[in-house]
Structures are given as structure tokens and as C-alpha cells.
Amino acid sequence: MRTKLVVGNWKMSPTSREGAALVEAFIKQVDYLWDVDIVVCPPYVAIPRVRELVKDTQVKLGAQDVFWEDSGAFTGKVSARMLSEFCCDYCIVGHSEARGRFGGYEPPIGTREYFSETDETVNRKIKALLYYSISPILCVGETKPERSVGETEKVVERQVRGALAGVDPSELYTFVVAYEPVWAIGTGDTCDPGEAERVCAFIRGVVAGVADQDLAESVRILYGGSVKPENARELFGQANIDGGLVGGASLDADGFARIVMSA
């Protein structure tokens, strides 16, 4: 039996002070809920303050990205070694925004390369996180043009296989996958629950092929892309959807608490 997991991805939204107020208001509403795993992923600069506030609660801490080297001349980067010092239990990797693929927003020509995550960099990040016992939350998902030409399965399979290349399956028991169709992120255009279930079941099959059936059965597969209090229950009720990766709706303490309660 997989425990449901709901992850709030705060993106580049709250400052440290705003994040502290958000998590304080949120914790008050969920402090009796111990049968669902809850994670918040603040921007790096908010992690120290949020960490103090979640310390003795059931809310776990995650980061939104990581760099694969431990230390060195990598200006602006944060390593898994640094995240482990702040007790980050989880870290998002391969988010479509980091891959330069946005849902409702087309970045201006010439700026995409600033976000140029690839399957290879995702793979390096996953290895670095596992070394420090931080659970990777691997984001995969197709764009609208890819879906319209029937390439959804091909894209997510390539992303999962690329991310896990050379990773020992025995290290993957805390690994999480988030199926996030790019066209559903931040657009309000949520994927139909039956279709999200179909793709999540497909992803579980890919994990079984890369590792084994036992691992595939235990790995949590989340859905992300315009999850709201109104649609969370139906999405999380699907057999292969083990919770959600929630962006915009995690910035409202009441709404995020309602989404967690749906799980």
C-alpha cells in the first residue's frame, strides 16, 4: 500500500518571510493529518526559515532543484551536500520549467537556453541526490505538440529511462515520479483524470522495465498540472496516482490544506 504524497512547489513565488507565514497558516490546518505525506519546496533562500517551522511537524522539506557537483566554481548553484545540511528530504528534478518548456508561457526567443535541463543533467542530479539520501521527485511530461502527434508515451519513457540510466535500482525505494503534462502546468487546463491515470500506469510499467516489478509497485507516481481543491479528489482517487505535485494552488494555505485532505 503506497502512502499518498502531496508536494507543494512554491516556485519563485514567496520570499522567506512570505513562505514562513504561508507554512505557519498551512500547518495549523493539517496538524492532525498523519496518514498522508506532505512536502513543501520553498525557494532556496526560504529553506532555513521554513525548516525551523516544519521541524517538529509532519511536513517535510524539499528543494526545487540541485546541482550535481558537491562544491567548486559553479556560481549560483546549490549542491545536494548543501541541501542535506538543511535536512531537505526531497528535491524536484527535471521540472519542465527547468527544461525550458513552459505550459501557458512561451519564453522569449533566446532565453530558453537559460533553462536547458536535459535527461543527462537530470540523471546526474538524481545520482547526487541519492548519494546524500535525498529523495528525487523526477518530473516528466509531454508538450501539447508532442501529445497531438501521439508521442506522449515516447517522451515520458525517454525521460524516465534517461533519468535512471546507470542508477542501481536498490537505491530507488524513496524515488518519486511526477507526471506533469507541460500543457497543464499553470494553465488551468488539468489533464482528464482517466487520461492521467493511463499515463501514470504506463510510467509504472516503464519503472518496472528499468528496475523490477516490486520497485514499480512501491514507487509513488504523482500527477501535477493545475491541481486544485476542486479536482484533487478525483485525480488522487485513481489507482496509479499516488498524490500530486501542486504549484499555484500550494500558495494558498487553505486551498493547499483542502488538496492534502483530498489525499
Distance in Å, CB of 81 to ligand PGA, minimum: 25
* Contact pick of 140, 232, 246, 263 for ligand PGA (by CB under 6 A): 246
Q: What grid cell was written down for 191?
A: 489533464
| Residue 186 is a binding residue for ligand PGA (CB under 6 A) | yes
**How would you label 227-244 residue by residue, b for 16+ Cβ within 10 Å and e otherwise?**
bbbebbebbbebebbbbb
| Residue 225 is a binding residue for ligand PGA (CB under 6 A) | yes
Q: What grid cell was written down for 140?
A: 516528466
* Contact pick of 43, 136, 181, 247 for ligand PGA (by CB under 6 A): 247
Question: Using an 8 Å Cβ cutoff, are 190 and 184 in contact?
Answer: yes
Question: Using an 8 Å Cβ cutoff, are 102 and 96 in contact?
Answer: yes
Question: Using an 8 Å Cβ cutoff, are 119 and 166 in contact?
Answer: no
* Contact pick of 42, 136, 224, 255 for ligand PGA (by CB under 6 A): 224
Q: Which of residues 8-37 bind ligand PGA (CB under 6 A)?
A: 9
Distance in Å, CB of 255 to ligand PGA, minimum: 11
Report how many residues bind ligand PGA under the rule CB under 6 A. 13
Distance in Å, CB of 102 to ligand PGA, minimum: 9
* Nearest Cα to Cα of residue 251 among 65, 10, 5: 10
Q: Which residues are catalytic?
A: 95, 180
**DSSP E strands, 141-213:** 176-179
**Rounded distance between C-alpha atoms, residue 248 and residue 255, angstroms:** 10
Distance in Å, CB of 71 to ligand PGA, minimum: 28
* Contact pick of 37, 65, 180, 197 for ligand PGA (by CB under 6 A): 180
Question: Using an 8 Å Cβ cutoff, are 91 and 66 in contact?
Answer: yes
* Contact pick of 23, 248, 253, 256 for ligand PGA (by CB under 6 A): 248
- Secondary structure class of 61 (helix, strand, coil): strand
Distance in Å, CB of 249 to ligand PGA, minimum: 6
Q: What grid cell was written down for 162?
A: 534517461
- Secondary structure class of 40 (helix, strand, coil): strand
Q: Residue 81, class by beta-carbon neighbours within 10 Å (0-12 exposed, 13-18 middle, 19+ buried)? A: middle
Question: Please, which residue, 38 or 249, has the CB nearer to ligand PGA?
Answer: 249
The label of the residue with cell 500506469 reads: 201
* Contact pick of 216, 227, 232, 257 for ligand PGA (by CB under 6 A): 227
Q: Which stretch binds ligand PGA (CB under 6 A): 55-63, 67-75, 118-126, 245-253?
A: 245-253
Residue number of the CB atom closest to ligand PGA? 247
- Residues of this chain that bind ligand PGA (CB under 6 A): 9, 180, 185-186, 224-227, 245-249
